[in-house]
Amino acid sequence: MELILIFISASIVNNFVLAYFLGICPFIGVSNKTENAVNMGLATTFVMTLTAAATWPIYHHVLVRFNVPFLQYVTFIIIIASLVQLVEMYVRKASPALYRALGIFLPLITTNCAILGLALFMVLRDYNYLESIVFGFATGIGFTLAIVMMSGIREELEFADVPEHFRGAPITFIVAGMLALAFMGFAGLIRG
């Protein structure tokens, strides 16, 4: 039950993109085509789940044990960067087709602050191991949901008559604002 709550909370109610503003760069940058958005979302979900699975034991069994939790930012960012590198190398070897689909998005994920945010929130909220993995996966699903919806809207937006200075980035932000408003409707679903 607790796990289902975490899943719904992280993927819909407290969506990382629309409620915490994490991962805005890829959300704006890669959301112009639905196909790219789906691939980016899946790659991110994958890395997020792995990140949660890898950072939790290192934080709790290494950093806390040796009493150096102030090293967490340096440690987390190194874990994420090397994880992305490993995933990229593995995918390139194991599945060239998947690599072609995800290829250029993988390096971008390192600089996605949603991943680092995930690791930080995980520590802040004191999740146990299983909860952390569910949290990582759910956050990825939430990110995918937001970016795919956004890309759908933006594809339609290309045919809309937007005032000159609002074209491009500004209208994208306004649309994201409306999406955030819509997602607020879920707020009553769950608390916290």
Partner 1 sequence: MQQDKSLLYEFKKGLWQDIPPFRLLLGLCPALAVSNSAINGLSMGLATLFVLFTSNIVVSLIRRTISAKVRIPAYVVVIATLVTVTDIFLAAVFPAISKALGPYIPLIVANCIILGRAEAFAQKNALLPTAMDTLGIGIGFTMSLTLMGTIREVLGFGSVFGMQLLGSWFEPWIVMILPAGAFLVLGGLVALVSWISSRKAARARAAETAAS
The CB-of-169 to partner 1 minimum distance in angstroms stands at: 5
- 8 makes contact with partner 1 (CB under 8 A): no
- 20 makes contact with partner 1 (CB under 8 A): yes
- 18 makes contact with partner 1 (CB under 8 A): yes
CB 7 within 8 A of CB 52: no
**The only residue of 3, 62, 64, 71 in contact with partner 1, by rule CB under 8 A:** 71
Near partner 1 by CB under 8 A, which window of 30-38, 57-65, 77-85, 96-104?
Answer: 77-85
Dist. CA 157–CA 139, nearest whole Å: 27
The CB-of-18 to partner 1 minimum distance in angstroms stands at: 6
**The only residue of 6, 10, 12, 22 in contact with partner 1, by rule CB under 8 A:** 22
Residue 105's closest CA among 18, 24, 44?
44
- 106 makes contact with partner 1 (CB under 8 A): no
- 21 makes contact with partner 1 (CB under 8 A): yes
Dist. CA 175–CA 191, nearest whole Å: 26
What are the two backbone dihedrals, phi and then psi, of residue 104, each rounded to the nearest 5 degrees?
Answer: -70, -15
The set of long-range contacts for 173-177, using a CB threshold of 8 Å and a minimum separation of 24, is 173/28, 175/150, 176/18, 176/27, 176/28, 176/150
**The only residue of 5, 24, 101, 157 in contact with partner 1, by rule CB under 8 A:** 24
Q: How many residues bind partner 1 (CB under 8 A)?
A: 41
Residue 83's closest CA among 122, 59, 109, 117?
109
Q: By three-state DSSP, how is residue 37 classified?
A: helix
| Amino acid at the residue 7 | F
Token pair of 38 as six digits: 């789906």
Near partner 1 by CB under 8 A, which window of 44-52, 59-67, 111-119, 128-136?
Answer: 111-119
The CB-of-46 to partner 1 minimum distance in angstroms stands at: 18
Which residues are at the interface with partner 1 (CB under 8 A)? 18-25, 28, 70-74, 77-78, 81, 111-113, 115-117, 120-121, 124, 163, 165-166, 169-174, 176-178, 180-181, 184
